[in-house]
Amino acid sequence: MSDLTLAVDIGGTKFAAGLVEPDGRVVAAQRSATPPGGDAETLWETLTGLLDRLEPPPGVAGVGIGCGGPMTWPAGEVSPLNMGGWRGFPLRERLAARFPGIPVRIHNDAICLAVAEHWRGAGRGSAAMLGMVVSTGVGGGLILGGRLIDGGTGNAGHIGHVVVDPGGPQCGCGGNGCLEAIARGPGLAAWAVAQGWSPGHAGSSQEPGRASEPGGESLRQDGEPSGQGGELYREEGTATARRLAADAAAGDPIALAAMTRAGRALGVAIASAVNLCDLDLVTVGGGLSQAGDLLFGPLEKALREHTRMGFAGRVRVVPAALGQDAGLVGAAALVIAGDRYWSPGP
């Protein structure tokens, strides 16, 4: 029996598989682009091809899977929003058939990222933590009492659907004023465009003529509402939002206003989570989090305005520490550190 765990990370942009040491180190990994529009078996063959290339040793200790939601949980019949070919696809069962006799465990990809930060990243040692991803979507996972909180159906952690403005913009979920509707990269970029911002032209609002120059980039590529396409919780797919951050850094007033708007929405939603769950720590990862103080400044300000009770003032908000392997690390933790991150049984 090997002491390695096989980790699988399934996203709308790429599939990844890796072998993870008991201490969380990823010692081998393979990646494939997600076949666009692939049907159920095409997607499955992409995954099995990846596993064949990885060549896991005989007798891995278990299999941990992170996959975009929604899914039935813990059964692991997945219907990822951004992979139309899998609807009710028995991903966990298929992998269990391929790796019999060992634990095969699955969770939402955003939850796996939160678990990774708690286990081996910026959240180590926290008793009460929210791990967030702010990217094309806004997601997260809750760790309370030092353990992953699943909620009644494995869906705890949906910080992106905490309501920050009940009369606010429509969200991909069908509600209004969710954090995600305001702070997801494409939502933020769309708001800036509506205010007159043109991607990649810092200062364009003062120089309207430049907005129509050749080379102005369409927002279409990641402007769809969450739930209809794109990568929800990863760093891909936020090119336009990153350009917005760059323009904000260059002093573009609309871009700055957009970052402030997103930062404040994040601060309010985090405050609600802190007050409700008595959190020590919030980690923030994902493409948009790389905007630094432009985002975290307004976030901190709003957070402190709305966490005035004594216990809530202690919370810290820090950047996520792990990089592109985080999804594999968190998936592996479902097996390796199942005492903390896996509740429903084998």
Which of residues 142 and 333 has its CB atom nearest to a copy of itself in the complex? 142
**Structure token pair of residue 160:** 């992106």
CA pair distance 304, 312, nearest whole angstrom:
9
Site string for a copy of itself, 292-311 (x = CB under 8 A): ----------x--xxxxxxx
Check residue 211 for interaction with a copy of itself (CB under 8 A): no
Check residue 98 for interaction with a copy of itself (CB under 8 A): no
- Segment interacting with a copy of itself, rule: CB under 8 A, options 27-35, 59-67, 252-260, 272-280: 272-280
Check residue 318 for interaction with a copy of itself (CB under 8 A): no
Which of residues 275 and 290 has its CB atom nearest to a copy of itself in the complex? 275
Number of C-beta neighbours around residue 50 at 10 A? 20
Which of 2, 42, 153, 212 contacts a copy of itself by CB under 8 A?
A: 153
Smallest separation, CB 78 to a copy of itself (Å): 13
Check residue 118 for interaction with a copy of itself (CB under 8 A): no
Per the CB < 8 A criterion, the answer to whether 258 and 293 are in contact is no
Which of residues 124 and 314 has its CB atom nearest to a copy of itself in the complex? 314
Q: What is the distance in angstroms between the CA of the first residue and the CA of the last residue of the chain?
A: 18
Which of residues 124 and 308 has its CB atom nearest to a copy of itself in the complex? 308
Check residue 332 for interaction with a copy of itself (CB under 8 A): no
Angstrom CA distances, 203 to 68, 128, 262, 291, stand at 37, 42, 20, 18
3-state secondary structure of 168: coil
Check residue 141 for interaction with a copy of itself (CB under 8 A): no
Check residue 161 for interaction with a copy of itself (CB under 8 A): yes
Per the CB < 8 A criterion, the answer to whether 228 and 81 are in contact is yes
Check residue 75 for interaction with a copy of itself (CB under 8 A): no
Helix (H) or strand (E) holding 310: none
Smallest separation, CB 209 to a copy of itself (Å): 36
Check residue 46 for interaction with a copy of itself (CB under 8 A): no
CA pair distance 338, 62, nearest whole angstrom:
11
Check residue 271 for interaction with a copy of itself (CB under 8 A): yes
- Cβ neighbours for 138, distance < 8 A, ≥ 6 positions apart: 132, 159, 160, 179, 180, 183, 184, 286
Which of 174, 214, 215, 345 contacts a copy of itself by CB under 8 A?
A: 174
Tokens 């097996």 belong to 335
**Structure token pair of residue 330:** 């968190």
Beta bridge partners of 16: 9, 31
**Structure token pair of residue 38:** 């692939």
Residue 209 CB-density burial (10 A; 0-12 exposed, 13-18 middle, 19+ buried): exposed
Check residue 127 for interaction with a copy of itself (CB under 8 A): yes
Which of residues 126 and 240 has its CB atom nearest to a copy of itself in the complex? 126
Which of 157, 186, 225, 230 contacts a copy of itself by CB under 8 A?
A: 157
Smallest separation, CB 226 to a copy of itself (Å): 11
Smallest separation, CB 41 to a copy of itself (Å): 25
CA pair distance 124, 103, nearest whole angstrom:
24
Residue among 16, 89, 90 nearest 53 (CA)? 16
CA pair distance 240, 244, nearest whole angstrom:
6
Smallest separation, CB 162 to a copy of itself (Å): 4
Which of 137, 154, 229, 285 contacts a copy of itself by CB under 8 A?
A: 154
Check residue 283 for interaction with a copy of itself (CB under 8 A): no
Could you list the residues that contact a copy of itself (CB under 8 A)? 70, 126-128, 142, 144-145, 147, 149-159, 161-166, 171, 173-178, 264, 268-269, 271-273, 275-280, 302, 305-312, 314, 343
